[in-house]
Structure 1
Amino acid sequence: MAQEPKIEVSVPVNMKQFILKGYNVLDLTKGDLNKDAYPDAVMVLYKKGEEKTSDVIDHPEKRPLLVLIGQANNTYKLAAYSDNAVYCVDCGGQMGDPFTGITIKNGYFSVEHYGGSGWRWTRIITFKYAPAEKAWFLYKDGGEHFHAISHEEVKTQVKTVKDFGKVPFEKFDIYK
Structure 2
Amino acid sequence: MKKTTLLVIICLNSLTLFAQRIPKPESYFILTTTLGDLDNDGTKELVVAYNTKQEDETYESIPRELRIYKLQNGEWMMWKKSQQALYESQDGGTMGDPLEKIEIKNGILNITQSGGSSWKWGHTDKYRYQNGDFYLIGYSSTDGKICEYFVYVDFNLSTGKMIVKKEYENCEDDDQIVYKRQNETLYKKGIKITLQNRRKNELKIITPKYKHQIYIAMKYD
* Rounded Cα–Cα distance in structure 2 between residues aligned with 1:68 and 1:117: 35
Structure 1 stretches lacking a partner, 5+ long: 1-11, 56-60
Aligned to 1:99: 99
Q: How many angstroms apart in 2 are the aligned matches of 1:126 and 1:51?
A: 34
Change (3 A) 1:129 1:94: same
TM-score (norm 2): 0.62
Partner of 2:209: none
**Residues 1:93 and 1:53: Cα distance change in structure 2 (over 3 Å):** closer
Deviation at 1:13, TM superposition (A): 6.0
Match of 1:52, SS state, is coil
- Give the alignment's Cα RMSD to 1 decimal: 2.5
Stretches (4+) displaced over 6 A = none
8 A contact 2:114–2:122 mirrored in 1: yes
Aligned pair count reads: 155
Larger strand fraction of residues: 2
Specify the alignment match of 1:30 in structure 2.
35
- Aligned counterparts of 2:155 and 2:115: Cα–Cα separation in 1: 19
Do the aligned partners of residues 70 and 51 (structure 1) sit closer, same or farther apart at CA in structure 2, a change above 3 Å counting?
farther
- Give a deviation string over 1:58-116, Cα, whole Å, max 9, x none: xxx31010011234x44322111001111111111111111111010122101111211
Shift of 1:53: 5.9
The structure with the largest alpha-carbon Rg is 2
Q: Distance in 2 between matches of 1:45 and 1:139?
A: 23
Q: Relative contact order (C-alpha < 8 Å, sep 6+): which is higher? A: 1
2: CA distance between counterparts of 1:50 and 1:121? 26
Provide the TM-score with structure 1 as the length reference. 0.76
For 1:27 and 1:33, the matched residues in 2 are separated by 17
Distance 1:175 1:43 in 2: 23
One-letter amino acid of the counterpart of residue 50, structure 2: L
Percent of counterpart pairs with the same letter? 25
What's the counterpart of residue 20 of structure 2? 14
TM-superposed deviation, 1:30? 1.1
Q: What corresponds to 2:191 in structure 1? A: 165
Paired residue secondary structure (1:169): coil
Instruction: Give SS of 1:170's match.
Output: coil
Unaligned regions of 5+ residues in structure 2, if any? 1-17, 161-187, 200-216
Matches within 5 A, 1:1-176: 14-16=20-22, 18-46=23-51, 47-49=53-55, 52=58, 54-55=60-61, 61-71=62-72, 73-130=73-130, 133-147=131-145, 149-150=146-147, 153-161=149-157, 162=160, 163=188, 165-173=191-199, 175-176=218-219
Shift of 1:129: 1.2
Structure 2: how far apart are the matches of 1:51 and 1:111? Answer: 27
